[in-house]
Amino acid sequence: MVYITEDLIRRRAEHNECEIFSLEEVSLHQQDIERIEHLDRWCKELRILYLQNNLIPRIENVGRLKKLEYLNLALNNIEVIENLEGCESLQKLDLTVNFVGRLSSVESLRHNIHLRELFLVGNPCTQFEGYRQFVVAALPQLKSLDGTEISRSERIRASQGLEEARRCVAEQEQEYLRRRAEEKEEARRKEAGVEEEKKERKPGFDGRWYTDINNTASPESEKNKENQELNENPKNPEEDEEQREHEFWHTPCSFTPESRLEAHRHLEEKKRAKEKLDFCLTEDEENNTIILDLEVYRHMDTSLIDVDVQPSYARVSVKGKIFQVVLPAEVKPDSSTAQRSQTTGHLLLTMPRAEGEIKVTKTVPRPPRVRQNRRSGGLSEDDQRKNNVPERLEVDPSKRTAVDLANIVPCQIAKEGPMETSRPDPPAAEDHFSEGCKDDMADRGKTLCSLLQQGEAES
């Protein structure tokens, strides 16, 4: 059941910047509304109100709309014209294709002195003898009835025969009300016996017809016969559903508010059944992930889908409708991915498991270790593994020393000469020498060596 809410009216008041207190025109057609409410308190400035093609059974809660000029209630379930006396400015009333059978209720519109047009086409009362004459005479302010202008001569003739038309209409109205009572009783019985009708869809409680209560057989023979019948004629659920659908729409029934409401309920159930999305939740042990395959409609735009993955559940919004499933293990939302199939339209969520889950991997059995005795000339498996690893030379860090610059200059002299001098070996570099001192000594050694070589060359 759809209710008239403030949000619904605001969405229909976009032309008025979504303001409802100053709204003068609103269209609420084809919303499956079953009751008129709140409009007389929220939208007191209304002049035009469209409520056609709904499921409204009664005119109510519009008496405070003093400025209402046009009310459209076509294609609803209204049976009586009532509660319109307060609509002082009403000029046009459309009740096309409703169920108005009490033609005498038209006289309640006498107080609407500004009413100029009235439409009752498609109502049961239009089949009454003297219908037009009675309405024209009962509502002298009317200018047009069912789209046909009322002439002055027609109004005079209708006024002259008003009493006779009223008596004739009252008799036909009583007969109609009697039939309506029978239709309502039948509808109540049908609604109360829904469960019994479901059982009656089968030939019997066990799926077989019983034609003779005195004809009994052994349980074994009945069981064998039943199995044989099921094997010969297997039941297909899809075919059974198609048959029920065909029977529902092709079975003759009277056009009443109850049958119209029943057809609407049936369509709603079919619509809800189609809106259910099938899904498949699997665990990929090899990749340590959880996969959700949601059968989204093939031609739906991806922008209408919103995915929210949490560590313990996944939520998918499809056209504003929520699909949520609890995950069998904790997952990583940041590492999860969502993909859409271009052929089927399915939504595929791949969610890696969180840390701490044991990853199952396929292991290859290893051959048992065979240890050989070294005395027998063989090596153990550990020794063989060590032998296969290449050896690398490593230098002991403690053996590394600084370069001794003082020992670079050779100290031996090839030949003795007049310039021969005996010079003791230079002391080793010690920690108390500074770097500058070492460099000075090296320069002096080079100079001395060059002088000695020059002297040898001259001699």
pLDDT in tens, 189-209: 887 776 566 555 544 444 444
Q: Quick check: 15 and 38 in contact, CB under 8 A? A: no
User: Would you state the pLDDT for residue 148?
Assistant: 95
Instruction: Give the contacts of 75 (CB within 8 A, at least 6 positions apart).
Output: 52, 53, 54, 96, 97, 98
**Predicted local distance difference test score (pLDDT) of residue 332:** 92
pLDDT of residue 432: 47
The pLDDT of residue 364 is 56
Per-residue model confidence as pLDDT tens digits over 49-89: 999 999 999 999 999 999 999 999 999 999 999 999 999 99
Nearest by Cα to 111 from 134, 133, 81 = 81
The per-residue pLDDT for 439 is: 62
Tokens of 90: 């009403």
Question: What residue type is assigned to position 261 of the chain?
Answer: L
Regarding pTM above 0.75, the answer is no
**Residue 333 one-letter amino acid:** P
Under the banding of pLDDT at 50, 70 and 90, the label for residue 397 is low
pLDDT of 359 reads 47
Per-residue pLDDT at 406 exceeds 80? no
The contacts of residue 411 (CB under 8 Å, 6+ apart) are 423, 425, 426
3-state class (DSSP) for residue 134:
helix
Backbone angles phi, psi at 23, to 5 degrees: -70, 130
More confident call, 263 vs 10: 10
Please answer whether residues 309 and 337 qualify as being in contact, where contact means their C-beta atoms are separated by less than 8 angstroms: no
Q: Is it the case that residue 281 has pLDDT exceeding 70?
A: yes
Percentage of residues of the chain with pLDDT beyond 90: 47
Q: Which helix (H) or strand (E) segment is 154 a member of?
A: helix 152-160
pLDDT category of residue 270 using cuts at 50, 70 and 90: confident
Residue 248's pLDDT is 75
Mean pLDDT rounded to a whole number for the chain: 79
Cite the beta strand spans of 199-333 per DSSP E.
Answer: 279-284, 289-294, 305-309, 313-318, 321-326
Listed in order, strand segments (DSSP E) in 187-267 are: none
37: Cα within 13 Å, side-chain hemisphere: 9
The winner for highest mean pLDDT among 146-150, 368-372, 411-415 is 146-150
Q: Of 294 and 267, which is predicted with more confidence?
A: 294
